[in-house]
A and B are shown apart, each in its own frame.
Chain A
Amino acid sequence: MSATRIDDRIVRVDAMEKARGEAEYVCDIRFPGMVYGTLVRSTVARGKILSIDVPALPEGYSFITADDIPAEGRNELWMIAKDWRCFASGDVRYVGETIGILCGPDRGMLSYLKKHIAISYEEETPAVTIDEALALKGGPIAGEDNIMCSLYCEKGPKMDDVFRQADSIFEETLETGFQEHVHLETNSAIVRQEDGRFTFYISAQCPFYVRKSVSGLLGLRPEDIVVKQTTTGGAFGGKEHFPDVLAGPLLVACNKIHKPIKMVFDREEDMLYSVKRHPSKVVFRTALDKEGGILGIDGKIYYNCGAYLSASYVVLQRGVFHANGVYDFPATHLEGYGVATNTFPSDAFRGFGAPQTLFAIEMHLDHIARKFGYDPAEYKARYFLRKGGETVTNGHIVEDVKLPEMLEQIATASDYYRKAKEYGIGSGRGIGISFYNHGGAFTGNGEQAIIKAHARLVKEGSRVRIEVGSTEMGQGFQTTLRKIAANALGISISQIDYPNPDTSRVPDSGPTAASRSTMVVGKIVEDCAREMKERWDEGDFSVEKEYVHPEGHPWDQDTFRGDAYLGYGWGACIVEVEVDRLTNEVRTVGIWSSHDIGKAIDELVVHGQVNGGIIQSLGYASMEKMENRDGRFRQSSMSDYVVPTSMDFPSQEWFLVDNPYQWGPQGAKGMGELVFNGADAAYVDAVERALGVTVVKIPIPPEDIEEAIENAR
């Protein structure tokens, strides 16, 4: 067996078993005596529960509610904040809120019983949109003003002074909608007791999050609960915290009935009753000089958090920190507000708050550039951040910024400058461009202060086992991490094992989120592997290491000042479209991207991430419309909530620039979210140019383009 090197292009280690259908998912697993669980949910967006009438349950069936949480437990799911209740009790705050879990052996009978549980409510007026919540429609949901969390950051001279010097002011409001994850495998979990401990088999990104979140329901410690991640068929953030919403009721029920319980959402449940990307509203007010140069940007950022804070404050922080995009403006003041509404709580989704503000700043600059007659690419390039440049949190960019080189790459490949001039505004053809970045890993010193990740390598004979809590969810981490280890050990990737994590056996390497796995966990594994290689002849042994925080990254989590991120991935994207003037259908004729991810650990994995991330972003911009009326999502299937097919965005030309990152394995930085963060704005820019319209809200399916055309008249 020859040693695997980083630059070898290899077939993903999990490709065959998944392609053959051999991989075992939660829905494939059965245990003796296992029963099924189904959630009984609120059908109103806001109200008091007056009564719950449960029909006489046949033998072997039970209905479990908040009343079944033992005295030593607390009715809360711990997802950064602890406000999300496991079971609604007394009142309900959104459609789909869990009221109880019905358990029993036959799923047909469960469905029948579920239809016969009668819950009566005293309904109240819900606030569903950001505007409704800010207007306190129906009275406040959270606090006195529905603002669940807020922060600001600023740099440069005071805004009042900046605006006093302005020749003109450009103000606009930019909005983004809900987005559904549409992971191929729906949410699912099994709980049972094994050797006296509650044990989960669960489709999840973060097994250690699950045990931390639910253990308090029974007054237990996290380590009293075992979480075994099962092969996970996609997540995109939708299985970061949300599995807790399944695991909580399952745990309380298992504590009551002492049988294995399995719960698998069907697609409709997974669409209607799961977390979504935060809808956003960004108001930019920009002070301009006579030539349209930017003196300063004042931004107000609102995220629709839904009924519970849960992880939203951190999402909002990332949104605010990315709200000046890849640019160094002389002055900025950014305020972020997390707004409580009566919708299903919003939560993690690839990009984690960054895509919304990046979209807003990109469109805003496009609109200013067009107003003053500049090419958006040239206009934006004036403000590119450079090494040493100041970020919005008064930190500094510590790496070389390769954006000029990346712009050159994609502009040449796409023939951007010629096309931008030749295709007139409103000609039906358009080419658009965007730039974006993504701060790798947890914000500030979170990796050091909060996570303190551990990773372990175990040598048994000539084989080496990776023990981490990090998960494969389709993104390719099984391949990436094994490759890092094999490369550092100088052995073949086929000698490395990396079982799905079991929290009772592996150290906590932190959540598989925040584009941190390759950059942070990969580095710890690489360090372990280096030591193991030196001691290779010692026989069987293990090496465990803790994360070491790079020096020189000051951060104050109370004031949000300093280096918000250890390093950034950078991206540039060009999209070319032709719009059918009869139907407003947009045909994408070209997509060009360039990314700086430090170093690609596996080019095939990276290729998949680039293609997938860009297509997901283009879907977000063009067709993925999730509407919520009166607190109810209107799209409930994959035929009415459409995600792109390969016919919609058939080909991409992609580039990487080499820019090794000092603290990453082999120079790698995070990239899983970066590739989602910007193609949307390039697409919308292209459509705007093709039609001579201004778009301030995505998505823009043909019927919304119709509206933009009418508005332009």
Chain B
Amino acid sequence: MKFVTKSPWILHYDGTSCNGCDIEVLACLTPLYDVERFGIINTGNPKHADILLITGSVNEQNIPVVKQLYDQMAEPKVVVAIGICATSGGIFAECYNVVGGVDKVLPVDVYVPGCAARPESIIDGVVKALDILAQKQKYARKKTGKNRINQETAKI
């Protein structure tokens, strides 16, 4: 299972972001920063993803969408809040339709500050998330028993 922490697949969802952080997340994948060379892929399917990147805060309408995406992801999973809006609401915190940071609905593991967050700091946040992912994996194995996967395949 080492490939999970070496080449995690990423799912990106735009909460109520202004696009600034979204294009910076995409910029991480393109030639100047190029994280794809490590096998990190931006996938559109939540079932394939290990890390959930959320830009922008949450509002009443997208809370069910965010929750659903998180529930569909397989364990172990990590949530990274990108940008100040995802962290606390930022400049829009006082808006009537903004509930607040992503941590109001999901357990956030890493917060990446900035408006807009720079690609360097986004990559740094994802690298930090990898440690947490490894820890979660270890914990999950302890809890369920190391050979659970083998036993299950034996049954089939």
Query: Are A and B interaction partners?
Result: no
